[in-house]
Structure 1
Amino acid sequence: MSTFGHLFRVHTYGESHCKSVGCIVDGVPPGLKLTEEDIQVQLSRRRPGQSDITTARSEYDTVHLQSGTEHGVTLGTPIGLLVHNKDQRPHDYAETDLYPRPSHADYTYLAKYGVKASSGGGRASARETIGRVAAGAIAEKFLKEAYGVEIVAFVSGVGKVGLPFEEEENEVLGKEYMDLVRTVKREEVDKEITRCPHKETSQKMEAAIRAAKAADDSLGGVLTCVIRNAPLGLGEPCFDKLEASLAHAMLSIPSTKGFEIGSGFRGAMFPGSQHNDMYIEGGPDAQGRLRTETNWSGGVQGGISNGEDIYFRIAFKPPATIAQAQSTARYDGSAGTLEAKGRHDPCVVPRAVPIVETMAALVIMDMVLQQNARTAAASLLPALTHLPPTMVLPSKKTVEKIQNGEEKVQVQNQKSGEE
């Protein structure tokens, strides 16, 4: 389907070379100050033609707000967003009348629907992500204003070139890498043409992309994304766990082939004694959260956000459409040689950064609305006073008293009754 989300719902439309692409966003809270400029920022970071290591297709991707706002304020009604396709060249794709492009969606779309878009990748094209990015920019603005949420993605690998400090021999993840995850800003990411904030590595990545482009080839890569200041308690057991929803969102992006959160696959190599994320002594912080030492969990435990930074990595395959001659088969099964035309990214990961950020925002926004609905309903009930202290979170007043030394944390041993 073309709809994502439960309470914050996004329905995208459009193909690579149709007249326009865009989306309908339902569930945006009323009263949010919102203009086209707020949305355009992320669309401009995503657009093609940004540099000579991206596709040469020239699109400014100017967004038009069609509904859902008045006088620069959201009304709570569906928001319509439209972006015109201007630099269309469907004649570049004549070869797809004869050939299903290797590792592309031509054959599978035709097999599924019995008909397909005649040019570009249709709905499988990265052009479809414009609607996601536009909707996610709205979610980002709400989350920033309401909770101070920051979402930053960056390129951490291109082909065989990766950050030199991602892993250390005796650590689940390297200290330099974790420090980067904790502190990196979008401004630092955008300074580099590759969107890798480590300059030396960025230069190596750029060289690798240019070499692939010169050889009419392509490269894959890896993005890291971090979500800071997400509220505690997001995630819906058991099938809509936070990491499951993030994986769903990320793996729905074109060209993605892998997802891992926190320590990911590397964490599986370590014993629990090294991997366990100990809680920090001293009780809850000013926000009422217990903090952890290492955050190998990636900010999620039991499928629910624990208040730490949420971070994950996504693997992107090399773009399937390349200009190199490839021996393959036609639709009728006969042998042939395909030399694809058109304008394509030699590596998609630099332009995928805002797509990953905004998809993350859509997940967090939807989870926030779900959790707020639950807590608002619970707040209408009488306060729970008969349960053991370990079953109820302390109130803000209690947290303040604990921090000021006015009250001790009482933990009841339910077997012996001792405190």
Structure 2
Amino acid sequence: MSTYGSLFRVTTYGESHCASVGAVVDGCPPGLQLSAADIQVQLSRRRPGQSNLTTPRDEKDLIHLQSGLEHGVTLGTPIAFLVKNEDQRPHDYSETDLYPRPSHADYTYLEKYGIKASSGGGRSSARETVARVAAGAIAEKYLKLAYGIEIVAFVSSVGKIHLPAALAPPSLTPSSNDDDEDDALSDDFRQLLATISREQVDSHPTRCPHHETAERMTQRIIRAKNAQDSIGGTVTCVIRGIPSGLGEPVFDKFEASLGHAMLSIPATKAFEIGSGFRGTEVPGSKHNDPFIRRSDGSLGTATNWSGGVQGGITNGEDIYFRIGFKSPATISQSQETAQYDGTPGSLAARGRHDPCVVPRAVPIVEAMAAIVVMDQLLIQNSRKTAASLLPPITTLPATMVMPRKVAEGSPGN
């Protein structure tokens, strides 16, 4: 469906070549100072036409707030916004009347609904993500002001070009020693997660924070573009400052909700959190995250193979994860395929497309992460508030019960 979230609910609308795309955001707390500029900064990072590495479609993606605010302050009521589609070329898609584009959603949408949009992929187009990014910017401002939470994503690979091993997320690497226990979570990678900023990420058009690798990625993307082809890649994201206790076992565990959100982004084909598949190669004695006492007296972990989530619940450590984006399906090369009636033929798609989506996917990943965290925080806070109205528990050992503040006016006060 087109709605995500339980208490922070985002409903998006719009197709690639209709008048506008947008969303209704319900559940944003009242009293948040919010302006169009807060949202526009992320939309501008996502918009097309940023460099010669992206689609030349020229959209300014200006946000138009419709409701839910007065004098720059949220009212707690639904926030509606729209972004106009201005640079449309529906005539570029006339061939899709006869041909379902290979690996695109033309055929599956027709099978699903019995009707499909005539141009640009309709709802399957990445144009829909404009609304996600705007909604995520709203969530992100609240998270930053209320909790100091920071979310930063960056490009970690394009095709076969990856960040240097010391800076890369854990990955499956062949080894001649079956008992090899090298720590894939290098100090350099931990430091990168702890310090990476959006300014660093945006300093290069590829949004890869390692300049030498970024230059190689640029050449790989340009090579695909010149060949009228495309190439995929991965985006890594870190969430810093997130509190412990978020996640709704058993079916809405934090990593399950995060994976749901990430795999709903167009062109995604893979998701892993923490050590991911690398964790399948490492014995438990190496993979376990021992607890330690932090300087503020709270519990933390000495390592973070878990990626900040244990038992489906956040443990207060940084959350890091990686998403795989396939090579864009729309390419300008002539491809041997079949028409809707099965007649063989040749299709050379027109239209404008990204030769590689990962540079523009970065703010989309950040937005979906913010929406997940926001929803999970509101759920957990509602539970804690409800529990705070009860009298203290005195019949169980102290190690079984988290001390809680008794709410004013409750029976335990």
Query: TM-score normalised by the shorter chain: which range applies?
Result: over 0.9
1:299 aligns with 2:326: no
Deviations 1:213-252 (A, max 9, x none): 0100100000000000111100001000000000000000
Structure 2: distance between partners of 1:56 and 1:261 = 33
Q: How far apart in 2 are the matches of 1:49 and 1:96?
A: 24
How far apart are residue 174 of structure 1 and its match?
2.7
C-alpha contact 2:4 2:10 (8 A) present in aligned 1: yes
Alpha-carbon distance, 1:117 to partner: 0.3
Preserved CA contact (<8 Å) 1:289 1:307: no
Match of 2:271 among 259, 262, 267: 259
TM-score by length of 1: 0.92
How far 1:285 sits from its partner (Å)? 4.5
Q: CA deviation at 1:158?
A: 0.4
Distance 2:81 2:131 in 1: 7
From 389, 399, 408, the equivalent of 2:398 is 389
The answer to whether 1:125 aligns with 2:137 is no
Aligned position for 2:410: none
> Quick check: 1:243 aligned with 2:255?
yes
Confirm or deny: 8 A CA contact 2:263 2:269 kept in the other structure.
yes
Q: Percent identity?
A: 70
Question: 2:366 corresponds to which residue?
Answer: 357
Asked if 1:332 corresponds to 2:341, the answer is yes
Distance 2:202 2:132 in 1: 20
Aligned position for 1:216: 228
Determine the structure 2 residue equivalent to 1:9: 9
2:285 counterpart of 1:234: no
C-alpha distance in structure 1 between counterparts of 2:259 and 2:125, whole Å: 20
Equivalent residues in 2 for 1:125-274 (5 A)? 125-165=125-165, 166=168, 170-274=182-286
- Mapped contact 1:172–1:296 kept (Cα < 8 A): no
1:390 match: secondary structure: helix
Tell me whether 1:322 sits opposite 2:334 in the alignment: no
The alpha-carbon deviation at position 98 of structure 1 amounts to 1.0
Aligned residue type for 2:132: R
Provide the secondary structure at the position in 1 that maps to 2:291.
coil
**Which residue number in structure 2 is paired with residue 376 of structure 1?**
385
Classify the secondary structure of the residue corresponding to 1:212: helix
TM-score (norm 2): 0.93
Letter in 1 for 2:195: T
Q: How many residues align?
A: 393
The alpha-carbon deviation at position 179 of structure 1 amounts to 1.8
Q: What 5-or-longer segments of structure 2 have no aligned partner?
A: 174-179, 406-413
Q: Secondary structure at the match of 1:321?
A: coil
Deviation at 1:389, TM superposition (A): 2.4
Tell me, yes or no, if the aligned pair for 2:327 and 2:356 is still in contact at 8 Å: yes
- Residue type of the partner of 1:268? T
C-alpha distance in 2, partners of 1:172/1:303?
A: 22
Which residue of 1 is the match for residue 409 of structure 2? none
**Separation in structure 2 between the aligned mates of residue 181 and residue 325 of structure 1, nearest angstrom:** 42
Matches within 5 A, 1:7-156: 7-156=7-156
Distance 1:200 1:144 in 2: 32
Q: Which amino acid aligns with 2:248?
A: E
- Paired AA for residue 150 in structure 1: E
One-letter amino acid of the counterpart of residue 309, structure 2:
V
- Kept after mapping to 1: 8 A contact 2:235/2:323: yes
Matched-pair contact (CA < 8 Å) for 2:392–2:404: no
Per the TM alignment, residue 310 of structure 1 is displaced from its structure 2 partner at its CA by 0.6
Q: 1: distance between equivalents of 2:55 and 2:395?
A: 63
Q: How many angstroms apart in 1 are the aligned matches of 2:137 and 2:217?
A: 28
CA drift of 1:196 comes to 0.4
| Alpha-carbon spacing, 1:395–1:27, altered in 2? closer, same or farther (3 Å) | closer
Deviation track 1:157-197 (CA, whole Å, cap 9, x = no partner) reads 10000011225871133332222112111100000110000
